[in-house]
Amino acid sequence: YSGRYFEILEKRKNLPVWVHKEEFLKTLKENQIVLLVGETGSGKTTQIPQFVLEAVLNENPSSGPKGKKWLVGCTQPRRVAAMSVSRRVAEEMDVEIGDEVGYTVRFEDCSSSKTVLKYLTDGMLLREAMADPLLGRYKVIVLDEAHERTLATDLLFGLLKQTLVSRPDLKLVVMSATLEADKFQNYFTGVPLIKVPGRLYPVEILYTREPQRDYLEAAINTVIQIHESEPPGDVLVFLTGEEEIEDTCRRIASKLGDQVNVMPLYSTLSPAMQQKIFDPTTDAVRKIVVSTNIAETSLTIDGIVYVVDPGFSKQKLYHPNTRVESLLVSPISQASADQRAGRAGRTQPGKCFRLYTEKSFKELEKQTYAEILRSNLANTVLTLKRLGVENLLHFDLIDPPAPDTLARALDDLYHLGALDDECNLTKTGEMMSEFPLDPQMAKMIIVSPQFNCSNEILSVSAMLSVPNCFIRPRGEGQKAADKAKSMFSHIDGDHLTLLNVFHAFLQHNQNQDWCYENFINYRAMKSAVNVREQLVRIMSRFQIKLCSPDFNSRDYYVNIRKALLAGYFMQVAHLERTGNYLTFRDKDDQVVHLHPSNCLEYKPEWVVYNEYVLTSRNFIRTVTYIQGEWLVDIAPDYYKPANFPNSEAKRVLQRHCKKRRLSE
Ligand code: ADP
Ligand code: MG
């Protein structure tokens, strides 16, 4: 072992969970399920899985099933956390990441046959369960951040509850930061609970006297004020998303210059940048971390003394009536606000600046609603069906979703051809569930050979699965960036534009300088290439044909647009005479606007869209021109007269239907 190993070991032994090591291991030995609740930063995520691993290795000196090594798995709701924490643990154990300690996140597997401790996103463990419902390689599974109540973690609860019965040798540790423990204790009746008290210093909470109109402005001003009038100590600012965070970092840096070290923290940040967050700072330079919710409980940054909390986060919301799921910047809950404040008191007494009034705080929800209550469940239903759950209503969930939402999901899957009349998984549905994508995208890929363009559709899907590839700086660079983007623009739509970018990237041999010159996000492009390769592998497993239409043929783009529609026919909008677009699903319609990022040079009568964005207005983002008659050709069951909306689109569709019948 290196000297650094012992240095880190000393630090580790000071973490609050170490006091409970013996008690924890003894409880785990005597029980199949253990609940562990501890303050954020007490060492749950980094230490407990190592304790567990030690015990597993001691008790199972010989190898596990089929000569392979037994695994300890620890789930994380966020990919950044899985990656960052596993790296840290590899360092603590003095091994290379990917060897004994590894991680698996969507589209990236950094584990090997040597791996005995694996951090993975909850979604990935669910996927593993699809392939092997008994999770045979695992000896112990640690469900971490249970308090977050993500959809995948909730499903894992239900699933593991069954698996533990069939596998008495499998153990489960549930770890959580806040005390929703009674909810988990009711769910797993009679399970022992270990509480790890944290070492929190007092945190003074300061509210604004008036509500703030612009929380970004207020956050920046507060940071400057802290820097100018408060004693040394690092600052943590909570914002909602990448663009906002990058922008705020630039603005703070331009105001405070070299006196501070401003760092962003969000999920698509490169691993090297993520690691920089943990570098200790000197007294002379104040560290200012501007982060998404990741820093609320998933990652603990030592040395934070001041927290700036505007009170918002991006949350998934779903309206079953309109079937719209979107990410919306929404007020956080009281529990979240308290967690955020707690980040200021880890190493010394701290201060939390809440950029809202005390009255507003009292009006916040006590807890954030579980994700399962806020989601479109089509993917969930597909997963459960694949896992062999026959009756969804009897599947034991902590918070069962509304029957409406469930019914909608079943209906969507039926129209996508994933379920048959008896609600059983079809062959198509089975294939769809193998793609780590939403059901519509999976469907689009599966049917793309019928339009002779699976190569193109794969590229578009890959581009839709990675962060936005266009970089658009504020101020000076913006014009140049827009000009660069226009070189890729396809007049018929954003999907085709993405395809152009992807092709250009390959033509330029994936060159980084080329990306830089063209305001293209190099990392996003590299991951698109990687995602595409993985999708190709799944395709070949099912022997789905890889094919391209002739690029010079008139129908090249027509075929691609038809294939898009074959997956996304439920996400279509029609231009009304009022100049507005109306979406419709069943008899429901919604006024929407094309997102300003679109590159269409005209307003087509019909568009297919990838995403619904709710801000002050309703936007549809990533849109491509389609023809109305394709709807009745491609999805005749869905677009039948009885389902037509009461808009102008109705008449247009009726005409298409009539024509179609005449020609038959
Ligand atoms: P919990 O899961 O209870 O919130 P963690 O196990 O995540 O606690 O964190 C324990 C300690 O390990 C914290 O002090 C944290 O700062 C430290 N730590 C975690 N990841 C890293 C890292 N990548 N580099 C340095 N320190 C880290
Ligand atoms: Mg943790």
Q: What is the DSSP string of 26-55?
A: HHHHH-SEEEEEE-TTSSHHHHHHHHHHHH
CA distance 318 to 402: 11
Ligand nearest to the CA of 43: 1
Bridge partners of residue 71, in order along the sequence: 138
Ligand 1 pocket: which of 4, 44, 88, 289 to mutate (most atoms within 8 A of CB): 88
Give nearest CA residue, ligand 1 atom 23: 88
Residues within 5 Å of ion ligand 2 by Cβ?
44-45
Distance, CA 24 to ligand 1 centroid (Å)?
A: 19
Are 458 and 591 in contact by the 8 Å Cβ rule? The answer is no
Backbone angles phi, psi at 633, to 5 degrees: -75, -45
Ligand 1 pocket: which of 46, 296, 298 to mutate (most atoms within 8 A of CB): 46
Q: What is the pLDDT of residue 664?
A: 65
Kindly give the number of the ligand 1 atom that is closest to the alpha carbon of 274.
23
Q: What is the pLDDT of residue 322?
A: 66
Residues 574-607 as b/e (b if ≥16 CB within 10 A, e otherwise) read bbeeeeebbbbbbeebbebebbeebbbeeebbbb
Quick check: helix, strand or coil at residue 359?
helix
Give nearest CA residue, ligand 1 atom 10: 43
Give nearest CA residue, ligand 1 atom 5: 43
Q: What is the pLDDT of residue 243?
A: 84
Residues of the chain scoring pLDDT < 50: none
Q: 644 CB contacts (<8 Å, ≥6 apart)?
A: 587, 650, 653, 654
Handedness of CA 10, 14, 19, 24 (dihedral sign): negative
Distance, CA 145 to ligand 2 centroid (Å)?
A: 6
Distance, CA 78 to ligand 2 centroid (Å)?
A: 11
Ligand 1 pocket: which of 12, 40, 93, 300 to mutate (most atoms within 8 A of CB): 300
Are 308 and 226 in contact by the 8 Å Cβ rule? The answer is yes
ipTM > 0.90 (yes/no): yes
Bridge partners of residue 103, in order along the sequence: 110, 119
Distance, CA 85 to ligand 2 centroid (Å)?
A: 9
What's the DSSP call for residue 344? G
Give nearest CA residue, ligand 1 atom 22: 88
Kindly give the number of the ligand 1 atom that is closest to the alpha carbon of 302.
16
Distance, CA 527 to ligand 1 centroid (Å)?
A: 27
Distance, CA 1 to ligand 1 centroid (Å)?
A: 21
The count of residues in the chain is 664
Q: How many CB atoms lie within 10 A of CB 41?
A: 24
Distance, CA 347 to ligand 1 centroid (Å)?
A: 13
Kindly give the number of the ligand 1 atom that is closest to the alpha carbon of 40.
4
Q: What is the pLDDT of residue 179?
A: 61
Kindly give the number of the ligand 1 atom that is closest to the alpha carbon of 85.
20
Question: Could you tell me the two tokens for 154?
Answer: 């909730």
Give nearest CA residue, ligand 1 atom 24: 278
**pLDDT tens-place string over residues 80-129:** 999 999 999 999 999 999 999 999 998 899 999 999 999 999 999 999 99
**Binding-site residues, ligand 1, Cβ < 6 A:** 15, 38, 40-47, 84-85, 87-88, 278, 300, 302
Distance, CA 228 to ligand 2 centroid (Å)?
A: 32
Ligand nearest to the CA of 40: 1
**pLDDT tens-place string over residues 462-521:** 999 998 999 988 778 889 999 999 999 999 999 999 999 999 999 999 999 999 999 999
Backbone angles phi, psi at 165, to 5 degrees: -70, -45
Give nearest CA residue, ligand 1 atom 6: 43
Question: Could you tell me the two tokens for 221?
Answer: 């001003």
Give nearest CA residue, ligand 1 atom 12: 43
User: Count of alpha carbons within 13 Å of 32, Cβ hemisphere only?
Assistant: 14
CA distance 552 to 555: 8
Which residue has tokens 């998984």? Answer: 425
Kindly give the number of the ligand 1 atom that is closest to the alpha carbon of 48.
6
Which residue has tokens 């597997």? Answer: 109
Distance, CA 18 to ligand 2 centroid (Å)?
A: 15
